[in-house]
Structure 1
Amino acid sequence: MKMFKSISTDIGIDLGTCNTLIYIRGKGIVCSEPSVVAVERGTKKVVAVGADAKKMLWRTPDDIIAIRPLRDGVIADLETTEKMIRYFIAKVLPKRWLVKPRIVIGVPSCITEVEKRAVEECAYKAGAREVEIIEESLAAAIGANIPIFEPAGHMVCDIGGGTSEISVISLGGMVVTNAIRVGGDAFDISIIKHVRNVHNLIIGEQTAEKLKMNIGNASPEQKIEKMEIKGTDAITGLPRRLEIDSVEVREALQEPINLICEEIKKTLGQTPPELAGDIVERGIVMTGGGSNLKGLTKLISKETGVPVILAEKPLLCVALGAGMYFDHARDANQSRSIYNNLNG
């Protein structure tokens, strides 16, 4: 058994609504691609996966459908998700495995046991020898190099594509955790709705995402940025251009951002006083792609009165932490064993 562990490949997967990231121990992040699969409508035969499939979203002929098999951080299409995981693993691992890999997958804490089992089943069918399912915020904390096994409180806010998860971690466990199905996708949808309601212009998810990434912001800034977008006029049905500025995008994003801020405040209110004191001193660590929104850390700090720190590689934290999970679990067990021997 020990020999298997020494030659086994440990894989960490951030199975995200928008992107799937894969970390292999000793190699780092080896795959970062959109969670999109293009299949033939009748046969369900896979035509493309990842970046190639994303290009086909909303642009496919009638016989091909490009789908996102995960919604709000959970599996909406089990069969397609399995094909996607299998494809990504085959892409990053040699064709002939000496020993099947151990896989750790980060999932939102708000998913049900049935949904958890579905993720686990997908990983086993994709070729895993051993599968561990852990909460995204725990994986994110490990990936952000937070010393989670200390007897102190650490707060992590992970904003992914489909969910935002806020957790207080101490001694390697989750003391308080809350999750809402609001994330980067909700930001995009809010922009789409705003542009439709205010300007009678219909835009797609990719245009909304570009607006968010290029001029999106959560706090007022001195410089007002502008960007030209293209879409379909809701009244005439004809193509139309529109120039939109960063102030308007901030207004469009207000609702989902407020929901995340309220969830953070709620989690702080549920935190035991001793751990809350640690968080005020150490700050809230932000991870996940949604944390990259300009001015978001500043706004959350202003709303909570607590320092907010953006992790060094927020988008990669869950995948990195999932990949390092087995090593951290081993170190934690060794520490507990030493402690028990000293106090036995």
Structure 2
Amino acid sequence: MSIFKKKKIGIDFGSCNTRVYVDGEGLVFNEPTVVLVDVNRGNVVAIGNAARELLGKTPQYLEIKKPIQNGVISSRKAVVAILKFLIDYVSGTFRMIKPDLYIAVPSGITSVERRAMVQVCFDAGAGNVKIYPSVVLSAIGCGLPIYKSHGNVIVHTGGGTTESAVLSMNGIVVEDAIRVGGIAVNDSLTNLIRRQFALFVGESTVEELKKNICSCVPVDKPRSAEISGRDITTGLPRTIRVDTNDLVEAVKQPISSIIASIKGVLEKTPPELSSDIADTGIALTGGNANLWNIDVLLTKAIGVPFFVVEDPMFSVIKGLECVIEENYVFEMVEK
């Protein structure tokens, strides 16, 4: 590794996961966006997988923090620590030239939130910083022909936010972003299990439940799973079995906000592009797109066909790869 070569680093800084692409090297980092903080000393002691493995198992002076919430910075110090770690991880601790950072952010963030992200990048040691909307990167990454004068609609639904946009001629025609995503689904599931089964369950348990058996619509052949937690009444450990159809309403509740957002975007779409959308359908990207039958629910609710792209969790980082490696250019409007 030459200390004189400027690195170009693409970072998809999600509420749940962080992914890093480096020019000429590919995907080099894919871990949870969490840190373990020593609250007495105020320093970060673990990042990513190393921190997540300790979730719910640490003494009181150690806290797990999620520094990106709803797509924006919630802990500036922790974000700087992660970025410094990533820059060192990619470029080495001794380097002569500061790297260029290409950062994905939700399209709905404010100018203040955007400037805050740029500043933490500089504080962490970046040479230049470029900010791109996740929804456009996601469309590029999954291969939508947004360069054509044709209506392309994409819904990028991640952990903390869901962005919907109509894209044409390398620009955004109509867009909307709401701070609802996979984390809201997890919260809804946690609340249902507490109400209906009188059981407190941990974050990792709910996440596995969502991935393995949850559906957005009732199914004829439900899956089932055993989950363990703490009984609300006795305070003792207890195990229960739940199946897919027990949990459908909890999954659908936050998705209803996403449906309303998508409808709002479609209602504002120029008629000339609406016919294109009816023919080609709407692409679903982001980690929340992996929810079982989310395309079925959205198609039924909105009346336009939805389809989940290949590897929806990696669409943004693939878009950053195109921007870095191929100098892909698109129009951005500052807010």
Give the TM-score of the pair, scaled to structure 1. 0.91
* % identical equivalent positions: 38
Give the RMSD, CA atoms, in angstroms: 1.8
Shift of 1:263: 1.3
Residue equivalent to 1:206: 204
Q: In structure 2, what is the Cα distance between the partners aligned to 1:14 and 1:332? A: 18
Q: In structure 2, what is the Cα distance between the partners aligned to 1:275 and 1:308? A: 16
Residue equivalent to 1:144: 142
Shift of 1:269: 0.8
**For the Cα contact (< 8 Å) 1:12–1:321, is it kept in 2?**
no
Shift of 1:307: 2.0
Residue equivalent to 1:26: 24
**For the Cα contact (< 8 Å) 1:36–1:67, is it kept in 2?**
yes
Which of 65, 75, 78 is matched with 2:76 structurally?
Answer: 78
Unaligned runs of 5+ in 2: none
- Which range moved further: 55-64 or 112-121? 55-64
- Which range moved further: 122-131 or 32-41? 122-131
Shift of 1:329: 5.0
| Aligned partner letter, 2:34 | V
Residue equivalent to 1:66: 64
Q: 1:281 to 1:295 in 2, by over 3 A?
A: same
Residue equivalent to 1:294: 292
Give the TM-score of the pair, scaled to structure 2. 0.93
**For the Cα contact (< 8 Å) 1:230–1:240, is it kept in 2?**
yes
| Aligned partner letter, 2:108 | C
- 1:324 is paired with a residue of what secondary structure? helix
Q: State the aligned residue count.
A: 328
Shift of 1:76: 0.5
| Aligned partner letter, 1:56 | L
Q: 1:213 to 1:330 in 2, by over 3 A?
A: closer
Residue equivalent to 1:41: 39
**For the Cα contact (< 8 Å) 2:23–2:324, is it kept in 1?**
no
**For the Cα contact (< 8 Å) 1:10–1:323, is it kept in 2?**
no
Shift of 1:326: 4.5
Q: In structure 1, what is the Cα distance between the partners aligned to 2:275 and 2:202? A: 44
Q: In structure 1, what is the Cα distance between the partners aligned to 2:102 and 2:275? A: 32
Alignment of 1:1-344 (within 5 A): 8-97=6-95, 99-326=97-324
Unaligned runs of 5+ in 1: 1-5, 334-344
**For the Cα contact (< 8 Å) 2:7–2:91, is it kept in 1?**
no
Q: In structure 2, what is the Cα distance between the partners aligned to 1:102 and 1:35? A: 21
- Which range moved further: 39-48 or 180-189? 39-48
**For the Cα contact (< 8 Å) 1:29–1:320, is it kept in 2?**
no
Q: In structure 2, what is the Cα distance between the partners aligned to 1:25 and 1:265? A: 38
**For the Cα contact (< 8 Å) 2:278–2:305, is it kept in 1?**
yes
**For the Cα contact (< 8 Å) 2:171–2:330, is it kept in 1?**
no
Cα deviations across residues 160-205 of structure 1 (Å, max 9, x unaligned)? 1000110111111111110111101001000000001111111111
Q: In structure 1, what is the Cα distance between the partners aligned to 2:239 and 2:328? A: 57
